[in-house]
Chain A
Amino acid sequence: GAVVSQHPSRVICKSGTSVKIECRSLDFQATTMFWYRQFPKQSLMLMATSNEGSKATYEQGVEKDKFLINHASLTLSTLTVTSAHPEDSSFYICSAREQGLLETQYFGPGTRLLVL
């Protein structure tokens, strides 16, 4: 149980284009989903927290107009990197909290984004 999927697992795009990453909780309902960014050999950096049906809460320094987050259902959240630039190249990981169970998070496998 408690499986989180992400799609795509890897994406290469041209500078200036937008990229959408999907995060799905496959066997549970996720009240809250989190989006992280991780650079090589560095720790997870929380970008934003999204609650189903409401606006995402962004961490300080994260541009909400650049990283659009939608959490339309209890099993799906999407992160769209708009007008991507090479410095946006990173490993993006989502996680989900199971509804009614607030004490842990289950992570997706991550999406590797490369912007040329």
Chain B
Amino acid sequence: QKEVEQDPGPLSVPEGAIVSLNCTYSNSAFQYFMWYRQYSRKGPELLMYTYSSGNKEDGRFTAQVDKSSKYISLFIRDSQPSDSATYLCAISGNQFYFGTGTSLTVIP
């Protein structure tokens, strides 16, 4: 079983839609949860970082962690074409693990 599982998509939504991106993980010892955004031919950019269960909000982005279910989510409200990118979840404890990434396209 992989440490982190992420649906690769691709996901295509109309502009203004709410987007939900998800990952599951296997080891309850993981403590830190991150979401990265990667545009084509660019390095990943740290988008959100959370430590505990619950929600963290930053503008149109909300990161949610459910440690009891070992499930993390990223919600994007009022999605824009500029949000079109690949989104990677990442989890760390003693080691760092990335999901495979979900490709998102927001259609104008």
Contact = CB atoms under 8 A, between A and B. Distances in A.
Interface of A: 2, 4, 6, 34, 41, 43-44, 91, 93, 95, 102-110, 112
Interface stretch (B42-50, B53-61, B67-75): B42-50
Contact of A109 (B42, B98, B99): B42
14 contacts: A4-B43, A34-B96, A44-B44, A95-B44, A103-B31, A103-B51, A103-B92, A104-B49, A104-B90, A104-B92, A105-B46, A105-B90, A107-B45, A112-B41
Q: Secondary structure at chain A's binding surface: helix, strand, loop or mixed?
A: loop
Nearest to A108: B43
A103 B41 contact: no
A107 B96 CA distance: 13
A43 B65 CA distance: 23
Contacts of B99: 43
Given A43-B101, A44-B98, A104-B34, A93 B44 contact: yes
B43 A110 contact: yes
A102 B92 contact: yes
Interface string B71-108: 00000000000000000101010001011110100000
B68 to A, nearest CB: 21
Contacts of B88: 43-44
A109 B100 contact: no
A109 to B, nearest CB: 5
A50 to B, nearest CB: 14
A79 to B, nearest CB: 14
Nearest to A94: B43
A108 B44 CA distance: 8
Contact of A91 (B34, B41, B90, B92): B41
A104 B35 CA distance: 10
A105 B42 contact: no
A6 B42 CA distance: 11
Contact of A107 (B32, B44, B92): B44
A115 to B, nearest CB: 17
A106 B47 CA distance: 11
